[in-house]
Amino acid sequence: MQSGNDALRLGITRRFVLRAGLVGACACFLPWPALAKKPEAKAAPKAAAEPAAPASNFYVANRDKLVADFRGVCGGAQHWLAARTAEPTAKAITDDALRRYEGLLPKMPDIGGPTNRNQPFLIMAGWLVALYQSMAEKGMTAKDAGRLLYDLYAADWAAVPPQKAKAMGASLFSVAYQQSLADWAAESQKKKYPGDWVGKALPGDGKTFDLGYDYTECGAVKFFKAQGAAEVAPYYCLNDFLASRAQGTGLARKFTLAQGDPLCDFRYKRDRPVTQNWDTETPKFPGNKPA
């Protein structure tokens, strides 16, 4: 996995996002290349001026890279939307989402920047908030926004050679990774950043799972709730199953904080078939109030 300094230098790119997926965080690793149109040369519209932020603000310091990455996401989103609505509407939604995202960046929660393994997932939660709010202005729902991201992510994984995806998944079960997960879990208990994730690592039982962990607090769910977008949170987590299926890591999960449960229970077993997906999980959402 790339170091935090490498991620900062390169920007939160698709490669970093997919590599970050090895940590198995409850987030969707938003793709764009598989469906994105060629980006336009003109600059994106500027968001309304925001109050000055401290120089140490990670999001402000890396604004250009973060906005460029989201512009790529919007390319894929516009292509997806254009197949379901008028082209001008699709463009209006993604232009508005980009403006919203630029305005949102300075106000996003501090969780330590590139030193935090979950920083990319909070950045991507910002992507989803901006897209969902813009889609809602045009009468679209949280489910629509969730499906957009799910489809883009599925297309992105389809473009990854299977052998490469399996190699990525194998890293999840390495001794080094499991130790890093245990170290992270112990550190998370200090709750240094209110907007961060908190969890505990679980050793495999040798039968039902090889690697496990529970989240008792989720930075993404906290962020969605703070932005008045809690209803989109359950859809954000579904992409974990797409990644696990491609990587052969056998994820099974019964509970999520996004659906109002007390924890997210991640259980991985190498080469186990992943049976959970959009069709199996979304019917459960209406009857279980989001956090």
User: Is residue 290 a part of any domain in this protein?
Assistant: no
* Same domain, residue pair 148 and 220: no
Mean pLDDT of the residues in the chain: 84
Residue 99 or residue 15, greater confidence? 99
Q: What is the pLDDT of residue 287?
A: 60
In a domain, 46, yes or no: no
Is 23 within 8 Å of 5 (Cβ atoms)? no
218 with 83, same domain?
Answer: no
Q: Which of 113-117, 129-133, 228-232 has the lowest mean pLDDT?
A: 113-117
For residue 165, how many other CB atoms are within 10 A of its CB? 19
Which of 158, 188, 212 represents a domain boundary (last residue)?
158
How large is the C-alpha radius of gyration of the chain? Answer: 18
Q: What is the pTM of this model?
A: 0.81
Q: Is 174 found in the same domain as 145?
A: no
How far is C-alpha 170 from the chain's CA centre?
A: 21
Domain assignment of residue 128, given as a range: 4-40+52-158
Q: Are residues 196 and 98 in the same domain?
A: no
What crossing angle do the helices spanning 119-137 and 219-226 adopt, rounded to 10°? Answer: 30
pLDDT of 42-77, one tens digit each? Answer: 344 444 444 444 446 999 999 999 999 999 999 999
Contact assessment for residue 241 and residue 264, using Cβ atoms and an 8 Å cutoff: no
DSSP for 232-255, please give it. Answer: GHHHHTTHHHHHHHHHT--EE-S-
pLDDT in tens, 195-237: 999 999 998 998 999 999 999 999 999 999 999 999 999 999 9
Whether 165 is in a domain gets the answer no
- For residues 83 and 132, membership in a common domain is answered with yes
The CA dihedral of 159, 163, 24, 99, to the nearest 10 degrees, is: -20
Residue 130 maps to a domain: yes
Instruction: Please tell me whether residues 142 and 261 are part of one structural domain.
Output: no
Instruction: Pick the last residue of a domain from 106, 129, 158.
Output: 158
- CB atoms < 10 A from the CB of 137, how many? 13
C-beta of residue 168 within 8 angstroms of C-beta of residue 21: yes
Distances (CA, A) of 85 to 114, 140, 206: 38, 11, 49
Q: Is the pLDDT of residue 168 over 90?
A: yes
Whether residues 79 and 116 fall in one domain: yes
Co-location of 153 and 13 in the same domain: yes
How many independent structural domains does the chain possess?
2
Residue 236 counted as domain residue: no
pLDDT band (50, 70, 90) for residue 31: very low
